[in-house]
């Protein structure tokens, strides 16, 4: 079993102070050695009921020995703790008395120093107030350590720089605003020009649309007129064709009728001649009247002038027949 060696100097004590304290435990050292010997004797042996009994007896001795050491420890510790509290009380009384005296002397001692600090603080605040309009971080500056002429030059420099920056900023801002206004004016000009171009284009488109519509309407009118004329021509041609067909048919019919009439006339004439040979004048007169009557319907004319002439001939034939009668 390793035994730790305790040194007095490790606890801030002199060797004599440590010896005086540890000496109070010396009356137990011999007994401690015996107990350690007994411990070493049983700790390495094989476990048996007899060894277990010896261990129980040794444990009671160890407890008793440890209690004796605890009693010595408590008595000595109590002494030192009470002594510590006693010297703490003496020191605390002295500390209060001397603290009061030191506070007073410190006030007297620091009077001139505080006056200087107050003067420097006021001077710094004043100078910061003068510089503050021209610097953003003036509150973080310490200016009281400058000579007056140096500070005046410093202040003038900051003021001139600030005013120059302000002037430059104003000129830039004025230029920016002017550029914005010019840009707005240009945009408005472009907008108006585009609007005019758009309106002109729309007008032109409307005019072109009107022209296209008029041309379309005109073309449609021409086509419609041509269509109507073509239809009329076709109708007229068809009408003429039909009229011609009718005329041709009528002419054919008239021709056929004439041929037939002529055949009938020839036949009738032959019969008449044959009959004349067999009859007298009265019968001939009747035949003459019949022949004249047949002449009234024997021919068919289409022209108005010819029809009118034929009507006049019929009137004359009637007069001739009446004359004969």
Element (H, E) at 273: helix 148-276
**For residue 89, what pLDDT is reported?**
67
Per-residue pLDDT band for 6 (boundaries 50, 70, 90) equals low
Whether 2 shows a pLDDT value over 60: the answer reads: no
DSSP E strand stretches across 19-149: none
Rounded to the nearest 10 degrees, how much is the dihedral formed by the CA atoms of 257, 263, 265, 267? -150
Inter-residue contact 118 to 142 (CB < 8 Å): no
Q: Convert the pLDDT of each residue in 187-243 to its tens digit.
A: 999 999 898 888 888 888 888 888 888 888 888 888 888 788 888 877 887 877 788
Q: Cα(27)–Cα(131) distance, rounded to whole angstroms?
A: 82
- For the chain, how far is it from start to end, CA to CA, in angstroms? 199
Measured CA to CA, the distance from residue 117 to residue 113 in angstroms comes to 6
- pLDDT tens digits for 22-79? 777 777 788 888 888 888 888 888 888 888 888 888 888 889 888 888 888 887 777 6
Q: What are the tens digits of pLDDT across the range 260-287? A: 777 777 787 777 677 666 556 787 888 8
The model's pLDDT over 106-132, given as tens digits with 9 standing for 90+, comes to 667 677 778 888 898 998 899 888 888
0.75 cut: is pTM over it? no
pLDDT at 180: 92
């Amino acid at each position: 079993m390793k035994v730790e060696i305790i040194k007095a100097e490790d606890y801030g004590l002199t060797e004599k102070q440590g010896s005086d304290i540890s000496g109070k435990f010396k009356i137990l050292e011999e007994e401690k050695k015996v107990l350690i010997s007994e411990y070493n004797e049983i700790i390495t042996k094989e476990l048996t009921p007899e060894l277990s009994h010896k261990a129980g007896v040794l444990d009671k001795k160890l407890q008793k020995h440890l209690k004796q050491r605890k009693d010595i420890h408590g008595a000595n510790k109590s002494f030192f703790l009470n002594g510590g509290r006693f010297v703490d009380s003496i020191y605390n009384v002295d500390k209060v008395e001397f603290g009061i005296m030191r506070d007073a002397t410190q006030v007297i001692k620091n009077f001139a120093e505080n006056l200087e600090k107050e003067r420097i603080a006021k001077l710094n605040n004043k100078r910061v107030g003068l510089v503050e309009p021209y610097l953003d971080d003036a509150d973080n500056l310490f200016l009281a350590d400058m000579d007056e002429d140096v500070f005046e030059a410093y202040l003038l420099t900051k003021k001139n720089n600030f005013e120059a920056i302000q002037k430059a900023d104003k000129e830039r801002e004025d230029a920016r605003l002017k550029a914005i206004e010019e840009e707005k004016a240009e945009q408005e000009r472009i907008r108006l020009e585009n609007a005019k171009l758009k309106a002109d284009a729309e007008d032109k488109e409307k005019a072109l649309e009107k022209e296209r519509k008029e041309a379309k309407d005109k073309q449609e009118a021409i086509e419609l007129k041509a269509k109507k004329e073509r239809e009329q021509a076709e109708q007229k041609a068809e009408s003429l064709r039909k009229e011609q067909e009718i005329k041709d048919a009528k002419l054919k019919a008239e021709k056929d009728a004439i041929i037939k009439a002529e055949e009938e006339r020839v036949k009738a004439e032959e019969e008449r001649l044959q009959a004349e040979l067999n009859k007298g004048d009265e019968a001939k007169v009747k035949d003459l009247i019949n022949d004249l009557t047949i002449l009234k319907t024997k021919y068919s004319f289409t022209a108005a002038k010819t029809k009118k002439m034929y009507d006049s001939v019929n009137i004359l034939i009637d007069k001739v027949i009446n004359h004969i009668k």
